[in-house]
Amino acid sequence: MQIAPSVLAADFTRLGEEIERVSSADLLHLDIMDGHFVPNISYGPEVVAALRPLTTLPFDVHLMLEHPLAYVPAFLKAGADLITFHVECKDPIEETLAAIHKGGAKAGLVLKPATPVETLWPWLDAMDITMVMTVEPGFGGQSFMEPMMDKVRAIKKRAPGLLVEVDGGVNDRTIQLCAQAGVDICVAGTGVFRAENAEEAIKRFQSW
C-alpha cells in the first residue's frame, strides 16, 4: 500500500518539521479548497511552492475547486507531480485532464460519496489515477464510509491497471478494508500526523 499523508492534518505552525516527519511516505497529499466547491478554504499554490524544496516526495495535489482548469498552471509551476480534480466540477473534464498532462503531471478524477461510480467511465482511458472519497470532502477527521469500497471494486473490475486512491478516515482498521478492495494509495491525515511516531504509523500502513 502506498501512503500519502495529508498536509491538512499537519501542525501549520511548523510545516517544515512536519514534512520531515513523513519522509518515509510515498507521496505528500495537498488538499486545495476554494470555499465554494467545499465550504472550507485551505491554502493556495504559494504554500505548495514553499513546501517543494523541503522534500523529494511526489506532490499529490487534490483540487476541491468549482473551476480547477484555471488553476492547473499555477499548481504545476508550484511543483505538483499528480493533480486530481472532481468529476462534479463545473469545468470541461477532458480539457482539464489534457491541461494537466500537457504540463507534465499525472491526472485523475475524484468522486464524492454520493456520485455514482459510472460517472467515471467515459474518461477511464484519459486518467492515470482516480480517487474515491471515503468521507465528504472539505473536512478532516470524519468517519470512513465502508460502502465506498464497492466503487473501488467496480473501478478495478473495469480498469484493472488504473491506480485507485482513497481519501478520508483511513486508520489501522479501515486500511484493511482498503487493501481487501484493491486500493493502491491511501491518503492518511490524522492517522499519520497525529500519531506519536509518524514514521512507525506510515510503515504500519504501508505493510498492507
Among all chains, which residue has been given the C-alpha cell 471494486?
153
SS3 sequence of 80-132: CCEEEEECCCCCCHHHHHHHHHHCCCEEEEEECCCCCHHHHHHHHHHCCEEEE
- Sheet order of strands, 185-188 included: 2-5, 185-188, 163-167, 129-133, 106-111, 82-86, 59-64, 28-33
CA 31 to chain centre: 7
Using alpha carbons, list the distances in angstroms from residue 115 to 31, 51, 118, 120.
19, 32, 9, 10
Catalytic residue among 26, 31, 60, 91: 31
Give me the residue label for grid cell 466503487: 151
167 close to 131: Cβ distance less than 8 angstroms: yes
Choose, from 81, 150, 167, 184, the residue flagged as catalytic: 167
Known catalytic membership, residue 167 = yes
Give per-residue burial for 95-115: e unless 16+ CB within 10 Å, then b: ebbebbeeeebbbbbbbbeeb
| Residues labelled catalytic | 31, 167
